[in-house]
């Protein structure tokens, strides 16, 4: 329910950051100018007492985010993979948001399992451990099935998580509306659409049956991918709030020292991670969209283990081709091609100058090539990209939000394994293979066959459609009298419509 209570929620957000000391740490990480720091200090300290206290044992940023709730935790998880953006110190603080949050009692977990599956825990599992991991949405227990003896991971949603997410997302909707009203220039970024997209993604994550289906589909798509392992769901022990899947041993991806100590090649792992992600996005159009370190492990045989399929991304074939051409153009340093693809896809308004846009893309891409990866500031690069897109009127593509976000996260994880990794060089083989298979002569023949198949399916209807259209065109025009409503009624209807729109925008 969007209403004035969400204004209070946003006020408490700022107050919580001030009370926990996170405000100063966040401003330091963003290199905020002195005037912004001073304004935040002056405006924040009178309201600090309104903020949540959080856990004093946690670092300031983590303390504030965990106190605010699950939606904020999700955002912190993303930032934890970008030490080049927020700094290594803050990234280390945020990494505990991935799978080391305070768990809820095991007795509560057992009660949820019994309620969801209609049977006591003892009849389902011969062994059931204390929580082994706890994140923003759910926590995981290690167990052994009583019927098969298989070792499984049992994921259970946090109590009250649905209501908590609704509360946070409602406040985000209000904030997005305020941003659009206060800053008309922000409307091209479509903040309301972005929040709606985030809401749809999160709602899917809160039904573990959908996660089990996603894991099953992902495993089928990737069964031929070397160096990848996907835990499969155990369907008899799956419900809306409970999910059992294969237990996956391995070293957490965040523990780089342990990975190296076990003899694994971290550079090869980083390259494989990037190539696997791009293969899933381009080849399958169905990819894991939450690939932070907490959802990744390195198995003893060197396989990358991916789990937690609550957030998945999906893109259609046309968008995949556009995305591949953009990536390939950057890899080839063919900025005219990248610009042309943006215009053809409608990403840039047709009235803008393609040559100027091409030069702007060159100014973004050229510093990447031949540079030491450790010297590239992703924060500065993202800021400059924002300036370029604003200059050329590009609107936010909501269908690419998860893809773009996941690519940033995957690059951050890969860079934690190998700070010197060149993402473009690692991506090149996958993108080139996709270009050959999807944009070459064979792809043209395949597309033509699909058109013929579609015509064949709808062939029986074509003659009827043609006859109907000819009949419509051959009829003489008829004079149609439209009864116009009285002007007072029009004004009343208009005022009611405007009032409804304003109410929806503000509340």
- The model's pLDDT over 260-301, given as tens digits with 9 standing for 90+, comes to 999 999 999 999 999 999 999 999 999 998 888 889 999 999
467 domain-assigned? no
Let me know whether 316 and 391 are in one domain: yes
417 domain-assigned? yes
Let me know whether 344 and 436 are in one domain: yes
Let me know whether 175 and 257 are in one domain: no
* DSSP per residue, 125-175: EEEEEEEEEE-SSEEEEEEEETTT--EEEEEEEPTTHHHHHHHHHHHHHHH
Contacts of 150 (CB under 8 A, 6+ apart): 144, 234, 246
**Structure confidence at residue 224 as a pLDDT band (50, 70, 90):** very high
Let me know whether 327 and 452 are in one domain: yes
Distance CA 64, CA 97 (A): 11
Q: Tell me the backbone φ, ψ of residue 80, rounded to 5 degrees.
A: -65, -20
Reported pTM: 0.71
CA atoms within 13 A on the CB side of 357: 22
Among residues 314, 117, 131, the alpha carbon closest in space to that of 234 is found at: 117
Looking at per-residue confidence, does 271 or 43 come out higher?
Answer: 271
Region 114-118: mean pLDDT is: 95
- The pLDDT mean for the chain works out to 78
Let me know whether 282 and 395 are in one domain: yes
Out of 194-203, 476-485, 486-495, give the one with best mean pLDDT: 194-203
Let me know whether 278 and 422 are in one domain: yes
Please say which residue of 79, 98, 117 terminates a domain: 98
364 domain-assigned? yes
381 domain-assigned? yes
Please say which residue of 98, 114, 140 terminates a domain: 98
Percent of the chain beyond pLDDT 70? 73
Q: Quick one: which H or E segment has residue 244? A: strand 242-246
pLDDT, residue 404, reads 73
Q: Which domain, by its residues, includes 191?
A: 162-202
As for how many domains the chain has, the answer is: 3
**Structure confidence at residue 124 as a pLDDT band (50, 70, 90):** very high
Let me know whether 433 and 343 are in one domain: yes
28 domain-assigned? yes
Looking at per-residue confidence, does 147 or 444 come out higher?
Answer: 147
Active site residues: 290
Let me know whether 187 and 258 are in one domain: no
């Amino acid at each position: 329910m969007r209403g004035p209570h969400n204004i209070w929620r946003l006020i408490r957000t700022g107050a919580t950051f001030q009370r926990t000391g996170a405000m100063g740490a966040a401003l330091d990480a963003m290199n905020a100018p002195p005037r912004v720091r001073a304004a935040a200090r002056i405006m924040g300290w009178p309201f600090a007492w309104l903020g949540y206290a959080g856990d004093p044992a946690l670092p300031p940023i983590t303390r504030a985010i965990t106190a605010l709730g699950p939606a904020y935790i999700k955002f912190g998880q993303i930032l934890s993979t970008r030490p080049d953006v927020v700094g290594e110190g803050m990234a280390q603080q945020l990494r505990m948001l991935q799978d080391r949050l305070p768990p809820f009692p095991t007795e509560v977990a057992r009660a949820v399992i019994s309620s969801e599956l209609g049977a006591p825990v003892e009849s389902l599992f011969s062994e059931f451990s204390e929580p082994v991991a706890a994140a923003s949405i759910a926590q995981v227990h290690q167990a052994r099935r009583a019927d098969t003896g298989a070792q499984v991971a049992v994921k259970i949603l946090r109590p009250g998580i649905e209501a908590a997410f609704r509360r946070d997302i409602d406040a985000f909707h209000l904030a997005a509306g305020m941003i659009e009203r206060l800053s008309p220039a922000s409307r091209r970024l479509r903040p309301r659409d972005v929040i709606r997209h985030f809401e749809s993604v999160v709602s899917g994550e809160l039904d573990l049956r959908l996660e089990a289906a996603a894991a099953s589909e992902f495993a089928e798509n990737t069964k031929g991918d070397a160096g990848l392992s996907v835990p499969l769901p155990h369907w008899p022990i799956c419900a809306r709030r409970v999910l059992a899947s294969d237990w996956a041993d391995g070293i957490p991806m965040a523990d780089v020292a342990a990975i190296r100590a076990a003899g694994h090649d971290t550079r090869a792992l980083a390259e494989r991670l990037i190539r696997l992600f791009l293969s899933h996005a381009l080849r399958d159009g169905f990819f894991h969209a939450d690939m932070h370190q907490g959802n990744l492990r390195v198995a003893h045989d060197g396989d990358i283990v991916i789990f937690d399929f609550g957030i998945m991304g999906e893109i259609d074939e046309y968008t995949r081709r556009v995305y591949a051409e953009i990536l390939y153009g950057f890899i080839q340093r063919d900025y005219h091609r990248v610009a042309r693809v943006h215009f053809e896809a409608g990403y840039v308004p047709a009235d803008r100058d393609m040559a100027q846009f091409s030069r702007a893309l060159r100014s973004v891409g050229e510093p990447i090539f031949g540079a030491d990866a450790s010297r590239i500031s992703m924060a500065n690069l993202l800021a400059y990209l924002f300036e370029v897109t604003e200059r050329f009127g590009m609107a936010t593509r909501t269908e690419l939000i998860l893809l773009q976000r996941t690519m940033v996260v995957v690059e951050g994880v890969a860079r934690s394994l190998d700070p010197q990794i060149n993402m473009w060089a690692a991506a090149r083989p996958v993108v080139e293979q996709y270009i050959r298979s999807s944009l070459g002569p064979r792809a043209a023949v395949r597309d033509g066959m699909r058109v013929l198949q579609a015509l064949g399916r709808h062939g029986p209807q074509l003659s009827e459609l043609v006859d109907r259209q000819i009949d419509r065109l051959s009829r003489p025009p008829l004079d149609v009298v439209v009864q116009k409503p009285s002007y007072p009624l029009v004004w009343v209807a208009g005022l009611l419509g405007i009032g409804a729109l304003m109410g929806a925008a503000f509340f």
